[in-house]
Structure 1
């Protein structure tokens, strides 16, 4: 099968690559020069601001119109601040605060920061309606569980980002909020009928489209009523019939990372997934984080082969490339009307804190932080009260392995503050908290997505709606422990 340089350039024009390191390897720059759409940056690409600005400048120098993307959601999912935690509350805290004007200002500030660093596409906001308390991948990334409230904040976030000149990407279509599985690891199923989907999952996406969102990201979830056995990412019924025709979206459809098992396992590999996604109606293919030159070229080669053997119509590929080019042109249009407001995130996070019960701020406590796994989307980012309190003893324990008597002995006559993320889901955590509450004044600080569980005997239950740096400081201030 012959190699067609023009066809290869078209194939590359649909790919959003990635690379390891703080400087771009030669192959990553060369592929941009050859026509690849752009690259997605991760925490492993970022050390500090000057280094990041130099990195993005080197990518832009490869070719005019390069897209440089990032997942900068604020809150728990941050790449810019992955070493310390985000100075912004995430979506759940913004939803709890309930002021769309603040949401718009926060996202405008994030957008202005990205724009100043040479990043022009933010794979945010997450607009999934989090209706499952035990959702392992969305949780505090969501504005909430009420579709209309989520829709209102979605529009504000899109307007904020794009007012700063950075393209928004509402995700994950048609809605990942009702899942109990992580699409990084498997293919979740949302078994609902069309009426539930339209009333619950879709309003935020409608709001994003009406606000002018330049892109929407697909979800690697199965919705049998629409997509049958296939992930939404590979379903024309989802991406064309529903998103394009019914909802009227004319922007760029971006895939979630094709390396995720929810997609790759179904497709039979990343390159095969690239073809299936394009055929289904996607335009910009996010390959993933753990990729290299070989995988990137394999995706381009498979797309070329699919056109040549008839699996992928040429006009579908050309349509995708044209939409990506339009997005690129918009990012270069200079449409920047809003700028940043440094420091905005901390008072917003404080305003989102909710207190149930009574906490005695006069007594210095023992702080017990419950260890928890980070989600794959968030990665390992520092969290908790650690950097925000001064002179207050803190210990870190694994709930299921902790001895209540040891903690009681360490606390002595002091009250105990238990800090955790998704405390109700941590093995042994409920029993530990309720056991401690039989002898000590216990306050629980929930920095994840709260459930209906409230520990028997606890004096207070404090919800921060996230675990960012801003949320941690807000918790410390609420407890009267801020340094």
Structure 2
């Protein structure tokens, strides 16, 4: 049977607290997650964030992904003194992929200075519905080709400093009226429309080599009338793996979001996500639920519901991504952090983007 430590690698987990502690270090040693995700509850000063990531990297038996949502605009976990960046829609208005690349390069520099090596960006959704309650401002725009170009520039800018980019929200959250944090949205379009609009930026990003994509908790009846995308083998394996040729990491959105949790408990969702072809599961809080999900995967393997080959394929993809992106080194020193985080060059860049958007 696959070792418990290997099963832990299939999870990115949230946690409480913003300081290193024996409780946190025991949590990491015990569950051996593939990564941890940081929210406001975990974020102190830049020096405190670096101390936290350093301590947990040392405590972990394997290198950790440290993930964060640092898109810019309203979805930016890192507050001042970190540079405050305009939203993706501003970059779409300006129309310069060079500025998008430069911003992602700068964001990555600030992330790496404090030990954060994975960014849940770029947003590859096409805002075809301006009344969308969750995606407005977060998308580069309503044109699929333009979204693809900016998304690829963002991914490459992050990668230039060693940060793993996670494109989201596959297969496309841009034309919805429901927030998947609260309920399950339905995208009613036929395959032709989906291919031309929703899927197009993801297909372009895959061709460009993006290392990871995040699934959306959406129901697309034209692709799978029964299961949301996160739990759908026709969408994750038949479409994403086989038709679009994606060979890298498939990461779930948070399995505690109501778009999934209303109908599927997290442990069962974790198993179904793996059955569908996914790799890394995101559970952003509640240690009891996180432990139940790890146990559910172990039990599914023991019962033969999940084959060891299926799980080892995901484990291998995760290990390969870590080998490519993670360097087991400490976050920067306090002096190095102060030289990068919120530096004048980054502030000037953010101001330039904002100024250019007003002139567009």
Question: Which residue of the partner structure matches residue 336 of structure 2?
Answer: none
Question: Which residue of the partner structure matches residue 14 of structure 1?
Answer: 10
Where structure 2 has 5 or more consecutive residues not aligned to the other structure, the ranges are: 329-339
Question: Which residue of the partner structure matches residue 317 of structure 1?
Answer: 311
* Structure-1 separation of matches of 2:235 and 2:173: 14
2:121 matches 1:124? yes
| 1:43 corresponds to which of 40, 45, 56 | 40
Q: 1:273 to 1:138 in 2, by over 3 A?
A: same
RCO comparison, higher one (Cα < 8 Å, 6+): 2
2:233 matches 1:229? no
| Offset at residue 134 of structure 1 (A) | 1.0
Q: 1:333 to 1:246 in 2, by over 3 A?
A: farther
Question: Which residue of the partner structure matches residue 51 of structure 2?
Answer: 54
CA contact 2:118–2:166 (8 Å) conserved in 1:
yes
Deviations along 1:246-301, one digit per CA (max 9) or x if unpaired, are: 1111110000000001011221x11111111111111000012xx23222211110
> Which aligned pairs between 1:213-292 and structure 2 lie closer than 5 A?
213-267=210-264, 269-288=265-284, 291-292=285-286
Question: Which residue of the partner structure matches residue 327 of structure 1?
Answer: 321
* Structure-1 separation of matches of 2:245 and 2:153: 20
Q: TM-score under structure 2 normalisation? A: 0.91
> Which aligned pairs between 1:199-218 and structure 2 lie closer than 5 A?
199-218=196-215
| 2:103 corresponds to which of 106, 113, 127 | 106
* Structure-2 separation of matches of 1:258 and 1:32: 19
Deviations along 1:189-209, one digit per CA (max 9) or x if unpaired, are: 001111101100112112221
| 1:342 corresponds to which of 328, 338, 346 | 346
CA contact 1:170–1:216 (8 Å) conserved in 2:
yes
Q: 1:219 to 1:139 in 2, by over 3 A?
A: same
> Which aligned pairs between 1:391-430 and structure 2 lie closer than 5 A?
none
* Structure-1 separation of matches of 2:160 and 2:253: 24
| Offset at residue 86 of structure 1 (A) | 5.7
2:163 matches 1:166? yes
Report the 3-state secondary structure (helix = DSSP H, G, I; strand = E; otherwise coil) of the residue aligned with 1:139. Answer: coil
2:170 matches 1:178? no
> Which aligned pairs between 1:86-105 and structure 2 lie closer than 5 A?
87-105=84-102
* Structure-2 separation of matches of 1:354 and 1:312: 55
Deviations along 1:314-343, one digit per CA (max 9) or x if unpaired, are: 211111111111111112259xxxx99422
Q: TM-score under structure 1 normalisation? A: 0.68
* Structure-1 separation of matches of 2:243 and 2:181: 28
State the superposition RMSD in angstroms: 1.9
- Answer with 1 or 2: which has the greater Rg: 1
* Structure-2 separation of matches of 1:226 and 1:44: 38
Where structure 1 has 5 or more consecutive residues not aligned to the other structure, the ranges are: 356-483
| Offset at residue 69 of structure 1 (A) | 0.6
